[in-house]
Each structure stands twice: as C-alpha cells, then as structure tokens.
C-alpha cells in the first residue's frame, strides 16, 4: 500500500461538521420514513385541529382559528422532532450502535459530539417547522409573511434547546423503556398544556406553572404574536423569554455532557 | 530504543474493583506487542488508558512521549483503534463508513478519495465499495473495522481481539495484512485469546492476569523460560514407567500432557503401540502454565 502521509486537521469545527454530516448521510438513507414522521405528521395535526377545531371555534378572538393554531403546530412540530431525535435516536447511536465510542476513538471530543448531535436535531426539527409554515403560507393562514424568516431562525434556536434537554435525558437512560417517562411527562404535556391549541391562561394556576417551566410555552408566546400581530410583542418579552430558553438549554447541555463523560470515560 | 508506549506501574480501580493493579511495559517503535491474559485480566482497560479514554488511578502512561490523557489532537490522529465490538455505521455503505470516519480526523476530500479504495483493496473489500454494512459477513465487517482504523495512516495501531469469531481464511488474511503493516514500520499493540496468533505476529509478549504483569519477552524466550521444550500428550491410563520419570504434567481429563527436556526418555518409557502426540512446547503451554487451567468466570 502506498505510503502517503495525510494532512490531518482535527479541529473543533471539522469534528462538529463531520458528525453533523454523518447524521445527514444516515438520514438520507432513511429519507422516506424520516419525512413521514417529521413532515406529514405535523401536517396531519394542522389539518385535523385547524379545520376540525376550527369548525367549532371559527374565531379565536379576532383571529381565524387556523391562523391561531398554526404557530402552535409549528412549535410542536419543532419540539417533537428535536426531542425525539436527541433522545431515542441519539440513544440508539450511543447505546446500540456504539457510534459515540467509534467517534471518540478518533481525535474528537465529547463536547463536539454533543454539539453536533444538538445541531443536527435542530436542523431536522427546523425542517419540520418549515413544512408547517410552508403549508400555512399556501393556505394564506399567516397574516405577517415577512415574519416567517425571523420565526424560522428563532425556531432553530428553540430546537437546539429542546435537543439539549433530549440529550440530557438520553445521557441518564439505561434502556429504551426509560423514554416512556420522557414522553409521558415531557413531550405529551408540552403538546397539551403549552398553548398549542388555546391560551395557557385557561388552565388552573398550577398547570400554568408547569407549562411555564417547559420552554415550548415561551417559544409559542413569541412565535404566535410574531406571525399574528407583531406590534403586540414587546422587546422585553422577547429578551426575557429568550433568556429563559437559552438558560434552559445551557443547563441541559452541561448536565448531558457531565453524565455522558462519566459513562464513556469511566469517571 | 524509541518507545511509542511507556506504561509505568499503571493502576485503575472501578470503585472497589481493581481492573489494573500494577502494569509496566513499553512498546518500541516498529514492533508488534501482544497483550495476553484471560478475560477480566485488565487488557481492555489498559488499552483504553493508552487511548486516553480512561484515566489511570495511579502510575503513568505515555504515548509518543506525552501523557496519554493530555495527548493533543494531532498526536491522537496518529493512533488507529480496532475496538473489540464492530461499531460501524450499519445504515451506510462500506466506502461511506471510511470516508465519514476520515472526516473525524479532519482529512481532506482529495486524500480520502484516494485512500478509501486503496484501503478497501488492502483488506480485500474492493468489490464491496457500495455495499451496505448490514449486508456484510462477520469477517468482512472485521476487515472493514481494521481498514477504518488505518484511514489516517496511523503510526500506532491498537487492536483489541482483531480476529475473534472469524473463519480461518479471514484470520489468515488479517495476519498477512498486519504483517505487511509491520513491514511498513507501523507499531502494533494487540490483544488476542489465540496463542497461535500471538506467537505468529508478536515480537514481544506481555502476559497479564488479575491486573498484573506475569511475564514478558519474545515468544521464543517465554517458551524457553517457562516450559520445557517438548510436550507429549498420552491417553489415560498412563503407565507407571512414564509417571516414574517424574516430569511436570497436566491432567486434561481423558489424557495427560507431559513436559520434558529429554524426549528420548519418554519414548523409551512408552509401552509398544501406545498412541501418543509429540510436539514442541508453544505459547499456549506458557499461558496455561502461568495463568492456570481453570475457568475464570465468576
């Protein structure tokens, strides 16, 4: 075999890109099942609730119900996809396929693996959100079209945070059964109580407290006014909610890293 | 002598379990060193410490002259690891597995485009370029894992049981290619449970058990030092004349093996017509003499 000394440039940036790329390649192989759950499923929600409940409510205050529920479905699609990818999918890479062990035998650090996993989950989840926004646009259910791009960027940030929480849960899991807690006490409550279908303020106070712990509530309370009535949104609200979302992600990421480094490096 | 790996009084505890108690050895450049020991002897933990994946509780482990735990990325890129389990990407093709692994090393596209087919040819997987990994046989997967470890043309290759569970043809090919790598000046560290493999490939052998080094040296030196050169295997019952020779022996159940310096004495003491097997002592005899014959499972 010819002996060429390769130019290896193992850097933080190269590692993160390489792992993101790895996930992208696998996703392309599993394109149709992935598209089905990440794009068609949120659209089913949109049609069912938008038209079904829309027929019951017709109006939500001044707004047509379809326009009202659309930002909620955007947020839920993002939340669900990011949470699923960073928890169960990441866990199967870590636990079943030993992908993390393989990667860590190369000159890659754990923080790069986790960062790439979160970025990948966020990318996939943003695509789900984009699909819902696209359908919303074509149905004319988005009054402020110029806000779609800012919403998409903000959605990417939120997805990254949801993914960090998923990674944290994954880092503590010792089997797939563990994720039934995650779906019962995190993913489903977010869907039901964070304001996807109606105002959080309709719930009893203790339910509201729970809802405002889940950062999807904050996301919906920024995305919905952005698409329906941007003038009602104050800068203070945006900053405060965004700060909460980012802190939530940072803490989750640190816990995920701490727990996984113990498991992978026998600390 | 230029030591690529240098372990000094290495120890690693997991809670109360002492996986590695006191291990010292060094691996000189261009040699193949075998780390042998029963299951649970501390081999994998030692390899993980060399890779910097586990920190030692005591002692020192240097790789390329620097402590393994603080080895920089550029130095880490000079090590190729063949892990015990096949952690390939099952959904990706054979070539994609190599290309993507190369990207973890920050290798450029042009180099990978040349290197990947070259490595697949080297491991006789050339016709599997586009095959999905999940369609490969166990032997092919193992060869692909070895090819993957070579992606950045490493100077040090660490192999954790490279041929376990493979058919004789696959093992032979792997042996040939590991010998070829040695000829290129690569340094190899391997663990194996196959003593014939260790005897064939290794220049130097370190036998560990219960986290400690029991013996080390070249296969020839170990055999000369620890067991008499000739081995006879005789079916039971064995005649009194043979037992009277008082040679060291081991009971295998339905037969007994005798170790001797003087094969003629054993042959003379045999009753006419007794079937027997006479062979030179090998590494397996050394290994079993040092680590015992009883099963290790707790």
- pLDDT for the residue numbered B296: 63
> Quick one: average pLDDT of A130-140?
92
Question: What is the per-residue pLDDT across B104-115, written as a single tens digit (0 to 9) for each?
Answer: 999 999 999 999
Q: What mean pLDDT is predicted for residues A157-184?
A: 97
Judge whether residue A203 has pLDDT over 60: yes
Q: What is the pLDDT of residue A208?
A: 96
Asked if the Cβ–Cβ distance from B106 to A8 is below 8 Å, we say: yes
User: Which residue, among B146, B145, B226, B158, has the nearest Cα to B191 in the 3D structure?
Assistant: B158
pLDDT at A30: 87
Return the higher-pLDDT residue of A147 and A42. Answer: A147
With 80 as the cut, is the pLDDT of residue A61 above it? no
- Region B214-237 average pLDDT: 93
Spacing of C-alpha A143 from chain mean position: 24
pTM of the model: 0.92
Contacts of A106 in chain B (CB under 8 A): 76-77, 101, 104-105
Q: Answer yes or no: is pLDDT of B225 > 80.
A: yes
B32-36 and B187-191 strand pairing: parallel
CB within 8 A of B34, min separation 6: which ones? Answer: B189, B190, B191, B192, B198, B201, B202, B204, B205, B206
What is the mean pLDDT of the segment spanning B158-167?
A: 93
Q: Tell me the CA distances in angstroms from A79 to A42, A94, A176, one per residue in order.
A: 11, 21, 20
Tell me the residues of chain A between 80 and 99 that have a Cβ less than 8 Å away from chain B.
97-99
* pLDDT score of A5: 63
**Which residues, in sequence order, are bridge partners of residue B191?**
B35, B160
Coil, helix or strand at residue B271 = coil
Residue A53 tokens, joined: 């409940």
Nearest CA in chain A to B75: A107
**In B80-137, which ranges are continuous DSSP H helix?**
94-104, 109-122
b vs e for A50-65, b when ≥16 Cβ sit within 10 Å of the residue's Cβ?
beebbeebeebeebbb
Q: Which of B18, B47, B63, B106 to mutate to test the interface with A (most CBs of A within 10 A)?
A: B106
- Token pair for residue B133? 């990994």
Q: Which of B105, B124, B133, B152 to mutate to test the interface with A (most CBs of A within 10 A)?
A: B105
Which candidate from B54, B81, B104 shows the least CB-CB separation from A15?
Answer: B104
- 3-state class of B185 per DSSP? coil
pLDDT class of B236 with cuts at 50, 70, 90: confident
Cβ neighbours of A28 (radius 10 Å): 11
Alpha carbon distance B42, A130 (integer Å): 52
Lowest mean pLDDT among A32-41, A160-169, B117-126: A32-41
**What's the average model confidence in pLDDT over B123-128?**
96
Assigned token pair, B75 = 């130095």
Chain A, 21 to 40: residues with Cβ < 8 Å from chain B are 21-22, 25-26, 29-30
Distance from CA of B83 to the nearest CA of A (A): 8
In degrees and rounded to multiples of 5, residue B19 shows phi and psi of -70, -45
Q: What is the mean pLDDT of residues B80-88?
A: 94
pLDDT of residue A101: 95
* Chain pair A-B, CB pairs under 8 angstroms: 108
- Percentage of chain A lying above the pLDDT 70 cut: 96
**CA gap A171, B16 in Å, rounded:** 24
**CA B129 centroid distance within chain:** 28
Reported as a pLDDT band with limits 50, 70 and 90, residue B297 is low
DSSP line for B209-221:
ETTEEEEEE-HHH
State the Cα angle at B69 between B65 and B74, rounded to 5°.
Answer: 65
Judged against a pLDDT cut of 60, whether residue B1 lies above it is answered with no
- pLDDT category, A36, cuts 50, 70, 90? confident
pLDDT at B257 over 80: yes
So what's the pLDDT on residue A90? 97
- Distance of alpha carbon B111 from alpha carbon A126, whole angstroms: 34
Residue holding tokens 């984009």? A130
Q: Which pLDDT belongs to residue B242?
A: 84
């Amino acid at each position: 075999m010819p002996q060429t000394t390769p130019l290896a440039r193992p850097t933080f940036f190269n590692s993160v890109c390489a792992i993101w790329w790895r996930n992208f390649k696998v996703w392309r192989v599993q394109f149709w099942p992935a598209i089905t759950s990440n794009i068609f499923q949120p659209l089913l929600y949109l049609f069912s609730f938008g038209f079904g409940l829309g027929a019951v409510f017709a109006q939500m205050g001044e707004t047509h119900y379809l326009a009202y529920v659309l930002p909620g479905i955007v947020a839920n699609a993002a939340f669900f996809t990011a949470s699923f990818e960073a928890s169960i999918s990441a866990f199967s890479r870590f636990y079943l396929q030993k992908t993390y062990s393989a990667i860590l035998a190369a000159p890659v650090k754990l923080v790069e693996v986790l960062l790439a996993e979160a970025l990948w989950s966020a990318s996939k989840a943003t695509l789900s959100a984009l699909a819902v926004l696209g359908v919303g646009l074509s149905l004319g259910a988005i009054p402020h079209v110029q806000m779609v791009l800012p919403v998409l960027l903000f959605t990417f940030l939120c997805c990254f945070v949801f993914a960090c929480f998923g990674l944290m849960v994954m880092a503590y899991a010792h089997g797939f059964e563990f994720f039934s807690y995650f779906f019962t006490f995190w993913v489903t409550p977010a869907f039901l109580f964070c304001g996807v279908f109606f105002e959080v303020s309709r719930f009893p106070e203790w339910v509201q407290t729970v809802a405002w712990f889940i950062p999807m509530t904050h996301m919906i309370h920024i995305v919905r006014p952005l698409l329906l009535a941007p003038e009602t949104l104050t800068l203070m609200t945006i900053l405060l909610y965004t700060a909460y979302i980012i802190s939530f992600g940072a803490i989750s990421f640190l816990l995920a890293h701490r727990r996984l480094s113990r498991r992978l490096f026998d600390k | 002598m230029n030591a690529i790996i240098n372990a000094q009084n290495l120890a690693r505890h997991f809670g109360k379990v002492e996986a590695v108690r006191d291990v010292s050895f060094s691996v000189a450049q261009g040699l193949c060193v075998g780390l042998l020991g029963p299951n649970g002897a501390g081999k994998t933990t030692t390899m993980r410490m060399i890779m910097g994946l586990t920190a030692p509780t005591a002692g020192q482990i240097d790789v390329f002259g620097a402590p393994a735990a603080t080895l920089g990325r550029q130095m880490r890129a000079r090590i190729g690891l063949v892990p015990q389990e096949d952690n390939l990407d099952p959904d990706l093709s054979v070539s994609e597995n190599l290309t993507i692994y190369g990207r973890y090393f920050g290798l450029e596209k042009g180099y990978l485009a040349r290197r990947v087919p070259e490595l697949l040819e080297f491991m006789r997987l050339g016709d599997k370029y586009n095959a999905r990994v999940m369609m490969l046989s166990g032997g092919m997967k193992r060869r692909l894992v070895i090819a993957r470890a070579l992606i950045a043309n490493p100077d040090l290759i660490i192999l954790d049981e490279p041929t376990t569970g493979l058919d004789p043809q696959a093992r032979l090919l792997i042996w040939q290619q590991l010998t070829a790598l040695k000829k290129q000046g690569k340094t190899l560290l391997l663990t194996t449970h196959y003593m014939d493999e260790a005897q064939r490939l290794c220049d130097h052998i370190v036998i560990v058990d219960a986290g400690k080094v029991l013996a080390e040296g070249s296969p020839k030196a170990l055999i000369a030092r620890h067991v008499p050169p000739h081995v006879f295997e005789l079916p039971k019952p064995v005649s009194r004349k043979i037992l009277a020779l008082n040679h060291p022996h081991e009971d295998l159940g339905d037969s007994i093996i005798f170790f001797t310096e003087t094969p003629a004495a054993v042959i003379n003491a045999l009753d006419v017509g007794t079937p027997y097997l006479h062979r030179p002592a090998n590494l397996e005899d050394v290994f079993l003499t040092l680590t015992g014959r009883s099963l290790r499972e707790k």
